[in-house]
A = this chain, B = another copy of it.
Amino acid sequence: MDKRFPLTTAFAEAIVTCEPLKNEAAVQAARTAIIDWLACAFGGAQDRTTRILLETLPAGSGNAVIIGQERRTDALTAALVNGHAGHVLDYDDVHSSVRGHPTTVVVPALLALASDIKISAERLIAGYIVGLETMARLGLSLGMKHYENGFHATATLGTIGAAAAVAHVLRYSLEETAVALGLAATHSSGLRLQFGHDAKPYHAGMAARAGLISARLAKAGLGGASDFLDNPIGFFSAFAFGEEHPRAAIESWGSPWQIVSPGLTLKAFPCCTASHPVAMIGLQLHQEGLRADTIDFVTFTFPPGGDAALVVTNPTAGIDARFSAEYVFAAALIDGALRIDHFGERPVREDVMAIARRIRRRHDETAPRLSNDPKTRFVIADVRLADGERLTRDFKGLPGLNDPTGKFRDATGDHPAVSAVPELVRTMLSEDDLYRFLNVLGQRLT
């Protein structure tokens, strides 16, 4: 261990020497999450914005698969496009320690890597678990102000997680790993001001690309700082706003693995995670038979910071409505379901907006501020009916999906060309398995 930089060195050592494949629960969680993420990526492959990226970026020559597209490209471009496509519906998993979306950054970087260098499916899975662990531990070490002051952790931490995943898979030396992490930190960007815009999912692609190029440049000998966590004007000074807990980056690494506990939340609805509790209450009230036209007004009570991601109150189209607690609740209440077509390009429906406009938000200032601890998340809906009656419903934590097989089937229209994907992901082990898997991903479904 480099005594001058104890924390960065210990962090790099954890990344390269850990053995996540020994933990069966972690491997199973990873396989499940990859199936879930592929549902999102196939669902986003033909999105208007994915097409814009493919038309605007240099064409790129190479063998890297673009999910749901027949053409191939260079690894960096593939990482970017797949990262974006996997996040564009905002339907992909989230992790509370990250306070963001780890899979849609780490997995695209590794798929792109696998297009250039032969690796086994098991090593890809190991790299994914390590990349997620890296993002989660860094998230815990940064504290809450990083996100609250405007950084999009999916992107800022994802860049570093993707680089860590590559370093693990390719068995980098400690020095190469530390330099790769520092290069990733110096690429680390992404602002929450883009929430509700096309640029938000682009952040995931940007991070996947940046993590991969960081790892490659470190291996190629571009020199960089190997002390990003120790340097007094390094990662924490720039990004933590004085709230850092540096030791949290390495404490309890892999014990348990963050993919196991607190674990990922696989999204049941294609909209911002923070809106899922109000979605659950809306669906519950629909099942109870509440008619929308009987509502006078609704008040949501969140913990402080509990609706920070829900930056939209008055959406104009389905896309920004993903970030509106009001729209999500109203649509769930009226339709009894939240589908991909609730959150597409089309303008919002007037019947949904009529209810959404009757909703106000408040915060319970006596409750603990929303933190990485999922237990701090709750919402209370106080519904006043036109006849004066009052209903109160609450939801604590986040709802999630255990088995994404149905989600994959729905997102791919049960297309026969990819119907084998969930089973392939559940069983793949070898280099050949991964090669077959990559070939299946590069198929156009429409």
Q: Do the beta carbons of B194 and A233 come within 8 Å of each other?
A: no
User: Which residues of B lie under 8 Å from residue A155 when comparing CB positions?
Assistant: 186
Is A217 in contact with chain B by the CB < 8 A criterion? Answer: yes
User: Which residues of B lie under 8 Å from residue A197 when comparing CB positions?
Assistant: 223-225
Residues 186-202 (chain A) with a chain B CB within 8 angstroms: 186-194, 196-199, 202
Determine the distance from Cα of A59 to Cα of B61 in the docked complex, in whole angstroms.
8
Interface segment, one of A49-57, A357-365, A373-381, A400-408: A49-57
- Count, chain A residues at interface, CB 8 A: 60
Shortest distance between the CB of A169 and any CB in chain B (Å): 18
Name the residue of chain B whose CB is nearest to the CB of A219: B56
Q: Do the beta carbons of A224 and B194 come within 8 Å of each other?
A: yes
Is A258 in contact with chain B by the CB < 8 A criterion? Answer: no
User: Which residues of B lie under 8 Å from residue A74 when comparing CB positions?
Assistant: 58
Name the residue of chain B whose CB is nearest to the CB of A220: B56
**Binary contact track A176-218/B, C-beta < 8 Å → 1, others 0:** 0000001101111111111011110011001000000100110
Is A439 in contact with chain B by the CB < 8 A criterion? Answer: no
Is A237 in contact with chain B by the CB < 8 A criterion? Answer: yes
**Binary contact track A67-78/B, C-beta < 8 Å → 1, others 0:** 000000011110
Determine the distance from Cα of A126 to Cα of B188 in the docked complex, in whole angstroms.
31
Q: Do the beta carbons of A231 and B193 come within 8 Å of each other?
A: yes
| Residue of A152, A183, A233 with most partner-chain B CB within 10 A | A233
Name the residue of chain B whose CB is nearest to the CB of A311: B233
Shortest distance between the CB of A145 and any CB in chain B (Å): 10
Name the residue of chain B whose CB is nearest to the CB of A152: B186
Is A60 in contact with chain B by the CB < 8 A criterion? Answer: yes
Stoichiometry (number of copies): 2
Shortest distance between the CB of A214 and any CB in chain B (Å): 9
Q: Do the beta carbons of A151 and B199 come within 8 Å of each other?
A: no
Shortest distance between the CB of A311 and any CB in chain B (Å): 8
User: Which residues of B lie under 8 Å from residue A148 when comparing CB positions?
Assistant: 233
Q: Do the beta carbons of B228 and A193 come within 8 Å of each other?
A: yes
Determine the distance from Cα of A416 to Cα of B10 in the docked complex, in whole angstroms.
53
Q: Do the beta carbons of A227 and B193 come within 8 Å of each other?
A: yes
User: Which residues of B lie under 8 Å from residue A262 when comparing CB positions?
Assistant: none
CB < 8 Å neighbour of A222 from B58, B77, B198, B319: B198
Determine the distance from Cα of A235 to Cα of B190 in the docked complex, in whole angstroms.
10
Is A149 in contact with chain B by the CB < 8 A criterion? Answer: yes
User: Which residues of B lie under 8 Å from residue A224 when comparing CB positions?
Assistant: 194, 197-199
User: Which residues of B lie under 8 Å from residue A399 when comparing CB positions?
Assistant: none
Shortest distance between the CB of A150 and any CB in chain B (Å): 4
Shortest distance between the CB of A347 and any CB in chain B (Å): 15
Q: Do the beta carbons of A191 and B52 come within 8 Å of each other?
A: no
User: Which residues of B lie under 8 Å from residue A20 when comparing CB positions?
Assistant: none
Is A442 in contact with chain B by the CB < 8 A criterion? Answer: no
**Contacts A220-B52, A220-B55 hold; do A190 and B186 have CB atoms under 8 A apart?**
yes
Determine the distance from Cα of A155 to Cα of B189 in the docked complex, in whole angstroms.
11
Shortest distance between the CB of A183 and any CB in chain B (Å): 6
Q: Do the beta carbons of A191 and B185 come within 8 Å of each other?
A: yes
Residues 122-153 (chain A) with a chain B CB within 8 angstroms: 148-152
Q: Do the beta carbons of A237 and B198 come within 8 Å of each other?
A: no
Name the residue of chain B whose CB is nearest to the CB of A320: B223
Q: Do the beta carbons of A234 and B55 come within 8 Å of each other?
A: no
Determine the distance from Cα of A53 to Cα of B222 in the docked complex, in whole angstroms.
8
Is A336 in contact with chain B by the CB < 8 A criterion? Answer: no
Determine the distance from Cα of A217 to Cα of B56 in the docked complex, in whole angstroms.
7
**Contacts A197-B223, A225-B197 hold; do A149 and B56 have CB atoms under 8 A apart?**
no
Q: Do the beta carbons of B150 and A56 come within 8 Å of each other?
A: no
Residues of chain A touching chain B, judged by Cβ–Cβ distance below 8 Å, are: 48-49, 52-53, 55-62, 74-77, 148-152, 155, 182-183, 185-194, 196-199, 202-203, 206, 213, 216-217, 220-225, 227-228, 231, 233-235, 237-238, 241, 319
Interface contacts beyond A57-B76, A191-B235: sample of 11 additional A-B pairs, CB < 8 Å, sorted by A: A52-B217, A56-B216, A57-B213, A58-B77, A152-B186, A185-B191, A191-B228, A192-B233, A199-B222, A202-B222, A241-B241
* Selected A-B contacts with CB under 8 Å, 6 pairs: A49-B223, A57-B213, A155-B186, A186-B190, A202-B222, A223-B319
